[in-house]
Chain A
Amino acid sequence: MSKKRGKQTYVFENDVYIKNTSTIAGPLEGKGNFGEYYDQVLENDSWGCKSYEKTEIKMRKNVIENLLRAEDITEFDLDCIMGGDLLNQIVPTAFSTREFETPYIGMYEACSTFGECLAVGAMLVDGGFMTKVLCSTSSHYGTAERQYRMPLELGSQPAPASQWTVTGTGAVLLTNEGTNQPKIKSATIGKIVDLGIVDPSNMGAAMAPAATDTITTHLRDMNRTPDYYDMIVTGDLGKYGRDLLHFLAGEEGYELADVLNDCGCMIYNDKQKATQGGSGAGCSCLVFSSYFYKEMMRGSFKKILLVPTGALLSKLSSLQGESIPGVAHAIDIEM
């Protein structure tokens, strides 16, 4: 029987465990809502490196090493390291994976890269091609700001709909063998949806239609209602984007209010003034690998639908007047 359900969803009949996770968070994130859930919190943004790019490389290298140590395996036991980040040529991912003698698959879909990695990683494990796949994505406030926006020290005011790029990284180990760990049961590969938003400081509005499309498609493909899940959690829509998703899904006949949340909204507390909330390729990866994974292991959540969201813009595309395409993938994770 085909593993495909409906239009875009794939069901994993073989076990795909999320065997273990490891996280490193920036100082601001450490003071946020999930400080005690992170395995390691940096004391400052640079971590002794000469540039923030080098810091991001070091963070991702260390988070992978920490996960290997926690699992008592080596780089040679892994079939592949998969991952991505926000920078040109996904340099932090490639340069940190350079340190390991492990086959590498680089991924890029902006902030939804973590969803892309989990979906493809789960397919590789379910298909029997690989048995141990490590997925890890990262972002750093200092590196993303300079590539996409303005110099850090420039005294400009953040736009009211803007978000704060998360400094942090996480790593998860997907395996075909496990005991009581959460399993990836199905995944919906999202379409690129663009409803014509051109404002690069309003990425929540750019990504909400893609999240709506992926979530409603997933529910239709799997013949489920939203309350099947304990929580449907998007990647980094922010507060305004989450409201838009709620509105758009309502128009499609899905009431998400009771189950909907967003990693970007959850990561910082209200005092931290991160405008609409966190964003970045590290956002959903860090929040899932820390808070959600640990709470699933404790039994607080049984079934979650993780929907990392991405805004596929560049500085040049915005200057050329292009609208911002959004994408989202839905990963169904159950105990």
Chain B
Amino acid sequence: MMNKEEYKKHVSKTCPKTKELRTMILAFLVGGTICMIGEGFNDLYTEVIPTFNSIQVSQLVTITMIFLGSLFTALGLYDKLGRHAGAGSIIPITGFANSVVSPAVEFNREGLFYGIMSNMFVVAGPVIVSGVAWSVIVGIIYFIIGAV
């Protein structure tokens, strides 16, 4: 039998690879479409609620997109989209909603507390933790620069 090094070399040479061009085009199209829908809501809310300023409108858009991502996850459609779209449906905020709702759906059967609540962030947890940690570090740097 081959030794480990030879075998690993052979596997890395012959292993099936992702079809990059196809994956990138699909990700671009789906990701772009999701963002376009978001922009559509942005225009709609600006039109319908003239008393809202642009920050309030964009918050409303974010909430709408999170709702839609969660809804399509619960309907069992978002994973089918993700199978083809890859990063195109993971990167937008709908993908973040999917990463929180999908474990919640999955662990529903283990009960509310130890099922849903303790498993809800198994996928999104690292993103939240590193997001908070980096914002603290950046905040401290800002603080120091401001003081100097």
* Residues of chain A at the chain B interface (Cβ within 8 Å): 50-51, 146, 150-161, 193, 195-197, 202, 205, 209, 212-213, 240, 243-244, 247-248, 251-252, 276
Q: Using Cβ atoms and an 8 Å threshold, which residues of chain B touch A251? A: 1-2
Report the Cα distance A154→B73, complex, angstroms. Answer: 8
Given A202-B11, A248-B1, answer yes or no on A154-B109 (Cβ-Cβ < 8 Å). Answer: no
Given A195-B2, A248-B1, answer yes or no on A153-B98 (Cβ-Cβ < 8 Å). Answer: yes
- The answer to whether B18 touches A155, judged by C-beta atoms less than 8 angstroms apart, is no
State the Cβ distance, B59 to closest chain A Cβ, in Å: 24
Report the Cα distance A154→B102, complex, angstroms. Answer: 5
B32 within 8 A of A: no
- In this complex, how many residues of chain B approach chain A with their Cβ under 8 Å: the count is 41
CB closest chain-B residue, reference A213: B1
Interface residues of B in 29-57 (CB under 8 A from A): none
- The answer to whether A248 touches B79, judged by C-beta atoms less than 8 angstroms apart, is no
- The answer to whether B95 touches A155, judged by C-beta atoms less than 8 angstroms apart, is yes
CB closest chain-B residue, reference A196: B4
Q: Using Cβ atoms and an 8 Å threshold, which residues of chain B touch A160? A: 15-19
Given A50-B109, A247-B10, A251-B2, answer yes or no on A152-B79 (Cβ-Cβ < 8 Å). Answer: yes
Task: Say whether chain B's binding surface is mostly helix, strand, loop, or mixed.
Answer: helix
Report the Cα distance A205→B14, complex, angstroms. Answer: 10
Q: Which of A51, A153, A205, A248 contacts B78 (CB 8 A)?
A: A153
Stretch at the interface among B60-68, B82-90, B126-134, B137-145: B82-90
Task: Say whether chain A's binding surface is mostly helix, strand, loop, or mixed.
Answer: loop
Q: Using Cβ atoms and an 8 Å threshold, which residues of chain A touch B14? A: 240, 243-244
Given A156-B90, A195-B7, answer yes or no on A248-B2 (Cβ-Cβ < 8 Å). Answer: yes
Binary contact readout B72-107 vs A (1 if CB under 8 angstroms, 0 otherwise): 011010111111111001100001001101110111
Q: Using Cβ atoms and an 8 Å threshold, which residues of chain B touch A50? A: 109
- The answer to whether B8 touches A196, judged by C-beta atoms less than 8 angstroms apart, is yes
Given A196-B4, A209-B1, answer yes or no on A154-B16 (Cβ-Cβ < 8 Å). Answer: no
Number of A-B residue pairs, CB cutoff 8 Å, is: 101
CB closest chain-B residue, reference A238: B16
What are 20 A-B pairs at a CB distance below 8 A?
A151-B102, A151-B103, A151-B106, A151-B107, A151-B122, A151-B123, A152-B102, A153-B73, A154-B82, A154-B102, A155-B81, A158-B83, A160-B18, A197-B8, A202-B11, A209-B7, A244-B10, A248-B1, A248-B2, A276-B16
Given A155-B82, A157-B82, answer yes or no on A195-B95 (Cβ-Cβ < 8 Å). Answer: no
Report the Cα distance A328→B122, complex, angstroms. Answer: 33
- The answer to whether A155 touches B78, judged by C-beta atoms less than 8 angstroms apart, is yes
State the Cβ distance, A190 to closest chain B Cβ, in Å: 13
State the Cβ distance, A54 to closest chain B Cβ, in Å: 9
State the Cβ distance, A47 to closest chain B Cβ, in Å: 15
State the Cβ distance, A64 to closest chain B Cβ, in Å: 24
- The answer to whether B2 touches A153, judged by C-beta atoms less than 8 angstroms apart, is no
Q: Using Cβ atoms and an 8 Å threshold, which residues of chain B touch A209? A: 1-2, 7
Q: Using Cβ atoms and an 8 Å threshold, which residues of chain B touch A244? A: 10-11, 14
State the Cβ distance, B126 to closest chain A Cβ, in Å: 12
Report the Cα distance A161→B16, complex, angstroms. Answer: 6
CB closest chain-A residue, reference B84: A157
Given A146-B106, A197-B8, A244-B11, answer yes or no on A155-B17 (Cβ-Cβ < 8 Å). Answer: no
CB closest chain-A residue, reference B81: A155
Q: Using Cβ atoms and an 8 Å threshold, which residues of chain A touch B11? A: 197, 202, 205, 244
CB closest chain-A residue, reference B80: A155
Report the Cα distance A155→B100, complex, angstroms. Answer: 11
Top-8 shortest CB links A-B: A155-B82, A153-B102, A151-B106, A196-B4, A151-B102, A160-B16, A154-B102, A157-B86
